[in-house]
Every structure is written in C-alpha cells, then in structure tokens.
Amino acid sequence: MDEFIQLNGIRINATFAEAFDMKATRLIITADDRQWATDAAAAMTGFGTSVIACGIEIAVERELAVDETPDGRPGVAILAFTVSGKEMEKQIPQRAGQCILTCPTTALFAGIEETTPKSDKRIPIGKSLRYFGDGNQISKMIGSRRYWRIPVMDGEFVCDHDVSRIDGIGGGNFILIGNNVKAVSTACRAAVQAIRTVDGVITPFPGGVTRSGSKVGSKYAALFASTNNAFCPTLRTMDPSSELTRDESVAMEIVIDGLSTAAIAHAMRVGIQAACDSQTDGGLLRITAGNYGGKLGRHHFHLAEILK
C-alpha cells in the first residue's frame, strides 16, 4: 500500500505533482468602476483553461484597490501562461484587442516590470493595438515607459506599449477523491477559495477545478492528451491502471500555475489544508497528485514535504 500521511482524518498520499516550465506575464486592467474592470477581465480570461486546446492558461489573480493601480482606479490583475514566447505574443494582443479595448472606460497596463532589455522578452500591447487608432493614436513617454492613447467612442483607451515575459511554472496540482460529488465539490471550493489569497498563482479551470484531468498520449494519433483513466470511477473495475478503490467514486483536480515554485507550493499547502478543514461529512476520503513518473516536468511538488 502506498505511504500516506493524515490531515484531519483525510489521507494524503506521499506522492508528488509534476509541473512544467512555461512563459508567464501579468496584466493590470483598470476602469472607471469595478464592474467594467471585472467584465473586461472575464472576457479576456474566457477560453483560457488549458494550453492543450486554448493555447493559453489565463485567469484573474486578484482584484486591486485604487491605491494599487497605475491610474488610481479600480483594477484587476491577470496572470497568463503559455508553452512558448511565440504563443504569448499571439494570445495577449488578440485578447487585449477584443476584450479590453472594446470594454467601456478600461485601460491596460503591464503588471511586471522589465527584467531584460532584449526585445524577445517583451509582449506587445499598445505596440500592436495602436493601429486601431487609424493614425490618430498618440505615444507618450513617462520615465522609461511608453504608453499609447488610442481614440475610442467613450474617450481614449490608454495602454502600455508592451509587457515583460518571464519564466513561469504550469501544472502544479492535487487531486481530491471522495465518495460523493457534493463532498468533493465542497472540498474543492474551499481549496480554491484559499488559493485565491495567494499572490502569483492562478487556478485556470472553471471554478478553479477540472473533472477531466488528462494524461499524456492517446490511442488516437491525432491527440496528444486523453482522459486520465486511472482516476475515472467508471473504469476502475476494468482498467488495471486504476488508482481508485471500491469506495472512491469521485475525483476532481485542482491545477495551479504560478510565477515561482514557492508560490505554487504555498498555494498547494493552503489549498490542501482548506480542503481537509471543509465540512464534507466524511465524503472526502483522500488527496493525491498527478505526475508522469518525473519524466516530463522538472518541477516536483511532494505533498508530504509541502505539508510539513
């Protein structure tokens, strides 16, 4: 039997989550009121759950108070992760143009200060969007930062020329297993709520949770990922690779992307603790993590070490 520790009576398998190198950036959306900022953020982060099909993993990091934003207005910080710089250079300008430029009263700013003078470390924002101004756009230098003022129907859209691209980590995770959907959902929601207090991380799936965790590869040549059959309860009696016991009928996964190993480890710690503290009436049975034997991702988050 696998080794495990216990937390509030919940078994925590002594295994590890395997995570991968990604490219990352942070953007700050501001608006005249919080509703517009939230609406813009919701649009920009839409269809951003997994790089498997979306090309990007993107979600709200946290809301920002007026004293935390460049223009003193209500704001939202967004984190975005891609597998390559090229994909980031494609995704961010498209989403900014369709989701932020279009939203009333908004402005868009870089949320990460420049870390290198090399142009391949920068992601265009106003550099691309300025052409929408049809020649009426205005460039403004403040210190070492270039901004663009683009005329729109409610006044001007202001945005940074570009934003830094830095190294990030994707795929930190833990899997919650129980005997009914309500209990596992309750534990997942408690975990995600706790993770949202941690800066530098996002949980990009709907509500922060996925029930369709994947494995690498497929019997179909066109797919490079397919259902994680080891955690599918309908397959447990017919699939020798199943990791579920007879009493375990539900599994849900929380995936965490972050700007550092420390941020992901902290998010996993508070998330697992919150899940184990949640009121599931004995329905949450076990927590484990997804990995590929350590062969694909160089970042390994060992649950037992994280919870010390």
At residue 242, the pLDDT reads: 96
At residue 121, the pLDDT reads: 81
Phi, psi of 260 (to 5 degrees): -160, 160
What CA–CA distance (Å, rounded) separates 131 from 154?
18
Phi, psi of 242 (to 5 degrees): -60, 140
Residue 126 tokens, joined: 């106003």
Q: Give yes or no: residues 175 and 201 share one domain.
A: yes
CATH number, domain of 177, equals: 3.30.70.520
At residue 233, the pLDDT reads: 97
Domain boundary among 136, 166, 196: 166
Q: Give Cα separations from 170 to 17, 58, 259, 288 (angstroms).
A: 11, 11, 9, 18
Strands (DSSP E) contained in the chain are: 4-7, 10-13, 16-30, 57-64, 75-82, 107-110, 122-124, 138-142, 145-152, 155-160, 162-164, 166-178, 201-202, 214-216, 225-227, 250-258, 284-288, 299-302
Amino acid found at 282: G
pTM for the full predicted model: 0.95
Q: For residues 184 and 177, is the Cβ–Cβ distance under 8 A?
A: yes
Q: Give yes or no: residues 52 and 78 share one domain.
A: yes
- Strand 75-82, strand 145-152: pairing: unpaired
At residue 119, the pLDDT reads: 40
Domain boundary among 166, 190, 223: 166
Q: Give yes or no: residues 131 and 247 share one domain.
A: no
Q: Give yes or no: residues 29 and 160 share one domain.
A: yes
State which H helix or E strand residue 37 sits in: helix 34-45
At residue 295, the pLDDT reads: 86
Q: Give yes or no: residues 77 and 89 share one domain.
A: yes
At residue 126, the pLDDT reads: 98
Range of the domain at 235: 4-19+169-306
Low-confidence ranges of the chain (pLDDT < 50): 1, 116-119
State which H helix or E strand residue 273 sits in: helix 261-277
Give how many domains the chain has, as a whole number: 2
Q: Give yes or no: residues 243 and 296 share one domain.
A: yes
Domain boundary among 166, 184, 205: 166
Q: Give yes or no: residues 141 and 89 share one domain.
A: yes
At residue 117, the pLDDT reads: 44
